[in-house]
Structure 1
Amino acid sequence: MKFTRKYIGIRYAAPLTLLLLAGGAQAADSGQEYGPDPELPEPQRGLLPNMTVPEPAEWGDMKPTVPDSYTITAIATDLKVPRQTLVLPNGDILVAEGKGGGKAPKSRPKDFIAGLIQSQGTTSVKGGDRLTLLHDGDGDGTYEDQTVFAEDLNAPYGLALVDDDLYVANQDSLVRFDYEEGQTEASGPPEVITPLPSRINHHWTKALTASADGDYLYVGIGSNSNITERGMAAEVNRAEIWEIDPETGAHRAYATGVRNPTALTIQPDSDELWAVVNERDELGPNLVPDYLTSIQEGGFYGWPYSYWGQHVDPRVKPENPELVESAIAPDYSLGSHHAPLGVDFSNTAVGGEFTNGVFVGEHGSWNRADPVGYKVVFVPFENGEPSGDPVDFVSGFLTGEGKTRGRPVGVTVAPDGSVIIADDMTNAIWRVTRDDANAQPAESATEAPSASSNEEATSPEDEPEMPEDGYAGDA
């Protein structure tokens, strides 16, 4: 197998960025703040924000970096924009593949400029609009069977399994497939449970998880803008986490003011809903922190009127002091513009210092001169809450020369302690295993990564494909 990754568009963003930023904020980046009580700088505003996407680089004979006593293997390549994964009861892995968005009109010069810069950091491979199933028949860690489980979907993203019901959050609807353990192909077309907001779809991804008892599904729905520049009418039913009854499709807003909830998960033991959220842009390189937080029923998390509790965003008019007063400060800052797109709680089988906490996939964002993110971090927990700075678990996607080899998205922790990571730039699935685990990791079945393409990739002569608006969330 070879990695499918073909690049088009602007090869060097930095000179263009420097030219465009002549009238924008130029303050030096300070250190990123992590944890429950970050020190927030004053907002910085200019004609244009800092915008940079690292130039793509090949893996060559390199692999991502993992801690000592762990091994990383590419278990699937040549995918069509993998986003999120789901480990099934028999150990099979489902992968949601697709690209969404693209309906948001570009009305300001910044929109066109940002689109050009963003286009450098995305694959040109056409989104698969499908679910791919990976099967390891002999349990040796090599997923020798790769089949299409379902196709003709609409930018599928979130995945959840409740008993014999497989749920998929497309960019425009929540659907259900019948599922039997060991099944390798859907038995028929999906049933639509409920439509999901999809007009404009500036933030298109629809994160998904099920409650611990399986009675409800939770879907994350991002805002239709950075900070209401399209008007509040465009934000109806947006920046929310919905609670959905899968039997009837009835839904309600479980939490609001959550700008772009890109991944959801349930905390073991407490059964609490947790999310990672991409916050707003254009207030400087160190505002506003993306975050990890528990989600309180009926809670309001600030967007658009305020951030990190009661920090008022002066751009939003009219103001809403009553809502600002009620805004909940998140549990944990991940740092600004890291663009977290994946989250899952660890388990004891992962081992080492990584048994109690969460893994977060950081896609990396374009809204800084110095890129951050581009890795999977582990946030340690103590007494059910985040405790301490994030620890790099999978890195090496961002090179020392400021180039990038890949971009993590979804993160899933399997019962056996392996950590599954979707990479939507390399178009691969990575698997991290502990070396002394009972199931020893297999040697990689892939060849050295290359920039080879398949029939879905465009040619160098084709026009650059603009990224979906906001990507999966300003990433």
Structure 2
Amino acid sequence: MSSSLFLGQIFIQILCLTIVLIYEIDATNSSFIPEPIHITLADLPEPYATASAAKDANIISVPANPTLYVPDGFTVKLYMSGLKMPRYLTYTPSGDILVSEPGMNRISCLIDNDGDGYPDELTTFADESNGLYLPYSMTFVNGYFYVGNRNITRRYQWATGSRQISGLGEIVATYEARGHWTRTIVASPNLDRIYIGIGSATNVDADPLPRGSVQVANIDGSNMVTFSHGLRNPIGLAFHPITKDLYVACQERDEIGDDLVPDFFTRIEQNDFYGWPFAYLSPNLTDPRRRLENGTSERPDLVAITRIPDVLFQAHSAVLDTKFYTGTQFPTNYHNGAFAALHGSWNRDIGTGYKIVFIPFDHMTNRPMGYYEDFVTGFLVKPSGPDTFATPVGLLVLKDGSLLFTDDGNNRIYQVQYNNNTIDTTTTKNSSARFTSVELFIIFNIFISLFY
């Protein structure tokens, strides 16, 4: 080989390696110290203090090397891309990760064949042939796989290690399809009951039960009764890992102003009522659209028993999933606290949400401390738009203690990890189910060798 060809090959190899590294760089992380965000009933304005905005998010392409903000010691990076409307996440009992893709009527299985902690194979676990219709949440109970579809919850027999289900399964519950379509299903800690969150069909109409409620039933769907109601869209459900209390993340109503009504996170118990649609957040706050001509509520009996939630989120944040942190990788102040995904607003003049937040719990009482903190931010680049490059949805605590969250705006999954040696500004690399830099470098070398 001539010296010029040799030098040319070296130059191209260096260039290829540079291209690979540029390909891998995904985001710059900047750290911050979380501050409590404590919204109280006293902070709330009167209804119609501002006009009702209608500003759907403008989903922009992911910027080149965007800056994402996480607490000191944490990093956030791309885990996987190329999905279609990824929403809910769960583990199979065999350790694979499932992600629901409602827009495709599909559930995909993420497989880590080489055990490096990142998926390298994507297969279809279930689809329309299995009766899926806008599938959202998923869970496994006693050898059965459950899926909350828009109009039906189904369960399927599942064989250990299986990465695909067959047939249409059994119908566990059916629902009216109008309105909120996400059906969240969780199993009780002792696996003898299932709880299903069913959102309202409307904004503030008095929809009959089971709309606007959490239902509870035997694991085969029999003996279903109302567990808690007055919940406009009880979309996030999770049991506290120590107390075994059931908590809900609930989306509240729209169209009475920028700062009404806050979404919330709270413990729920049998027969609790949380106001919708007649009151909001308190017996002292009645919805003006559900009052009689004399100014009194249409249902003073229900208003009187309206419970006050534990934690209020900024109105119109559109809280979706919530998960308790059961890992050990994160610092102890995060242990047994809850994370929540805020999908982002449409009914607010200045956009809010589009982030992951953390809800601290008192380690003595195992109850929420009444406020929340930002955890992952930076996606909302222009609040007045609102312009964003992510709309967070589902959460999953991985077995290594890191945290995943889905983004159905740009069809991604992100991973948050903790390393207390992290400096304030860190460039993290893309660890999605793609070739690694070493693999790509080898491929480039093979390709180059064909020409020299």
Render the CA deviation track for 1:37-82: whole Å, top value 9, x for unaligned. Answer: 5522111167x61122343322233354333333333333222211
Identity of aligned residues (%): 34
User: SS of the residue aligned with 1:323?
Assistant: helix
The answer for unaligned runs of 5 or more in structure 2 is 1-22, 24-35, 293-297, 422-427, 435-452
Match of 1:390 in 2: 372
Render the CA deviation track for 1:9-50: whole Å, top value 9, x for unaligned. Answer: xxxxxxxxxxxxxxxxxxxxxxx973565522111167x611
User: SS of the residue aligned with 1:392?
Assistant: strand
1:212 aligns with 2:189: yes
Kindly state the Cα deviation for residue 388 of structure 1 after the two structures are TM-superposed. 5.4
Match of 1:380 in 2: 360
Match of 2:289 in 1: 315
The answer for unaligned runs of 5 or more in structure 1 is 3-31, 99-126, 448-475
Match of 2:45 in 1: 41
Q: TM-score, normalization: structure 2?
A: 0.79
| Match among 91, 95, 116 for residue 99 of structure 2 | 95
Question: What one-letter code is carried by the residue in structure 2 that aligns with 1:165?
Answer: Y
Q: Which deviates further from its counterpart, 60-69 or 273-282? A: 60-69
Match of 1:227 in 2: 204
| Match among 120, 126, 132 for residue 108 of structure 2 | 132
| Cα separation, 1, equivalents of 2:432 and 2:250 | 34
Q: TM-score, normalization: structure 1?
A: 0.75
Match of 2:74 in 1: 70
User: SS of the residue aligned with 1:324?
Assistant: helix
Alignment of 1:412-427 (within 5 A): 412-427=396-411
| Cα separation, 2, equivalents of 1:38 and 1:216 | 38
1:347 aligns with 2:320: no
Kindly state the Cα deviation for residue 129 of structure 1 after the two structures are TM-superposed. 0.6
Alignment of 1:67-466 (within 5 A): 67-98=71-102, 127-152=103-128, 153-198=132-177, 201-228=178-205, 232=206, 234-310=207-283, 311-318=285-292, 319-352=298-331, 353-382=333-362, 383-387=365-369, 389-400=371-382, 402-435=386-419, 443-445=430-432
User: SS of the residue aligned with 2:313?
Assistant: strand
Rg (Cα) greater in structure: 2
| Cα separation, 2, equivalents of 1:362 and 1:145 | 29
Alpha carbons of structure 1 residues 141 and 71: separation in structure 2 relative to 1, 3 Å: farther
User: SS of the residue aligned with 2:328?
Assistant: helix
| Cα separation, 2, equivalents of 1:301 and 1:138 | 48
| Cα separation, 2, equivalents of 1:285 and 1:227 | 17
Q: How many residues align?
A: 380
| Cα separation, 2, equivalents of 1:194 and 1:265 | 20
| Cα separation, 2, equivalents of 1:325 and 1:60 | 50
Alpha carbons of structure 1 residues 188 and 314: separation in structure 2 relative to 1, 3 Å: same
User: SS of the residue aligned with 1:307?
Assistant: coil
Kindly state the Cα deviation for residue 418 of structure 1 after the two structures are TM-superposed. 1.7
Cα contact 2:74–2:419 (8 A) shared by 1: yes
| Cα separation, 1, equivalents of 2:222 and 2:429 | 43
Question: What one-letter code is carried by the residue in structure 2 that aligns with 1:392?
Answer: D
Alpha carbons of structure 1 residues 445 and 237: separation in structure 2 relative to 1, 3 Å: closer
Render the CA deviation track for 1:205-227: whole Å, top value 9, x for unaligned. Answer: 11111111111111111111111
1:56 aligns with 2:51: no
Runs of 4 or more, structure 1, over 6 Å off, are: none
| Cα separation, 2, equivalents of 1:237 and 1:248 | 14
Cα contact 2:263–2:314 (8 A) shared by 1: yes
Alpha carbons of structure 1 residues 147 and 194: separation in structure 2 relative to 1, 3 Å: same
Kindly state the Cα deviation for residue 268 of structure 1 after the two structures are TM-superposed. 0.9
Alpha carbons of structure 1 residues 313 and 432: separation in structure 2 relative to 1, 3 Å: same
Alpha carbons of structure 1 residues 33 and 76: separation in structure 2 relative to 1, 3 Å: closer
| Cα separation, 2, equivalents of 1:282 and 1:45 | 11
Question: What one-letter code is carried by the residue in structure 1 that aligns with 2:411?
Answer: N
